[in-house]
């Protein structure tokens, strides 16, 4: 009984010193229900409550950081292993990849026969660069055959975005046609902030028949797989 009394007094003192229940339980080996019974009549000053709250928040932040660090570690391990699955990509692989990319993100000719040249739109710089590599390898198309269009919200840093795409695509900034999209005062879109550079559309001059050829390749893939 004397031991229990001493433990109770120690628990009360720790509580008044601003210790949380979990911290006290590490010092005193009793059940949480027993500790709650001992401390139910302990009134804490505002400063003591503040200390406990700050400790609780700090603990939550440490836990969140630990989970984030673990998630980043696992993600890196999975990606590093997956990257090794990709071996050499030959011209045939690149050709098929480009067709699939265009099927997903490229402009198609309308059923009514309205002419449409090759045009490809995306905001992912790596995807744009792979598409440009595909154009060069497949059709021997270079920068002189291309028109670059930037579509970006008017509230963005336009000059920064223009410089970004000029450097990324290795082309003069003067070659980039910029079209501003009107922004609403209230928006739920996520493409905002310092890393927002708009969307790039790549057009190929005089490419109506080339676009039809790509459409034929897409149909050929469907014929073989469906």
The tens digit of pLDDT for each residue in 7-43 reads: 887 887 888 777 878 888 888 888 888 887 888 767 7
Would strands 119-122 and 146-153 be described as parallel, antiparallel, or unpaired? unpaired
Q: Which of 30, 33, 36 is nearest to 3 (CA)?
A: 30
What is the predicted pLDDT for the residue at 47?
62
| Residues 25 and 112 occupy one common structural domain | no
Question: Residue 68 belongs to a domain with what CATH number?
Answer: 1.10.10
User: What's the whole-number average pLDDT of the chain?
Assistant: 87
pLDDT tens digit sequence for 97-126: 999 999 999 998 877 767 899 999 999 999
What is the predicted pLDDT for the residue at 191?
57
| Residues 45 and 95 occupy one common structural domain | no
| Residues 74 and 129 occupy one common structural domain | no
| Residues 42 and 99 occupy one common structural domain | no
| Residues 66 and 15 occupy one common structural domain | yes
| Residues 38 and 125 occupy one common structural domain | no
What residues pair up with 177 in beta bridges, in sequence order?
149
Angle formed by the axes of helices 91-105 and 125-139, nearest 10°: 120
> Quick one: three-class SS letters along 75-108?
HHHHHHHHHCCCCCCCHHHHHHHHHHHHHHHECC
What is the predicted pLDDT for the residue at 185?
55
What is the predicted pLDDT for the residue at 95?
97
Report the C-alpha gap between 159 and 149 in whole angstroms: 14
Q: Which of 202, 157, 214 is nearest to 180 (CA)?
A: 157
pLDDT tens digit sequence for 138-154: 999 988 899 999 999 99
Domain span holding position 21: 2-80
Report the C-alpha gap between 188 and 200 in whole angstroms: 21
153 backbone dihedrals φ, ψ, rounded to 5°? -70, 145
pLDDT tens digit sequence for 59-84: 788 888 889 999 999 999 999 999 99
| Residues 101 and 67 occupy one common structural domain | no
């Amino acid at each position: 009984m004397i031991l229990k009394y001493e433990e109770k007094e120690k628990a009360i003192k720790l509580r008044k010193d601003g210790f949380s229940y979990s911290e006290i339980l590490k010092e005193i080996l009793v059940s949480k229900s027993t500790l709650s019974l001992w401390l139910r009549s302990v009134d804490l000053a505002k400063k003591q409550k503040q200390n406990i709250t700050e400790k609780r928040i700090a603990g939550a932040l440490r836990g969140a950081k630990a989970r984030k660090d673990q998630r980043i570690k696992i993600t890196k391990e999975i990606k590093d292993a997956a990257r090794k699955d990709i071996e050499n990509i030959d011209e045939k692989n690149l050709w098929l990849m480009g067709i699939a990319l265009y099927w997903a993100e490229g402009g198609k000719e309308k059923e009514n026969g309205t002419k449409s040249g090759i045009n490809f739109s995306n905001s992912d710089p790596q995807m744009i660069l792979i598409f440009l590599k595909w154009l060069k390898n497949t059709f021997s198309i270079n920068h002189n055959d291309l028109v670059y269009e930037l579509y970006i919200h008017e509230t963005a840093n336009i000059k920064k975005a223009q410089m970004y795409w000029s450097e990324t695509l290795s082309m003069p900034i003067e070659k980039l046609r910029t079209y501003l999209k009107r922004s609403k005062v209230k928006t739920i879109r996520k493409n905002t902030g310092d890393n927002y550079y708009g969307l790039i559309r790549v057009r190929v001059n005089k490419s109506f028949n080339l676009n039809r050829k790509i459409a034929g390749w897409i149909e050929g893939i469907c014929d073989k797989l469906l």
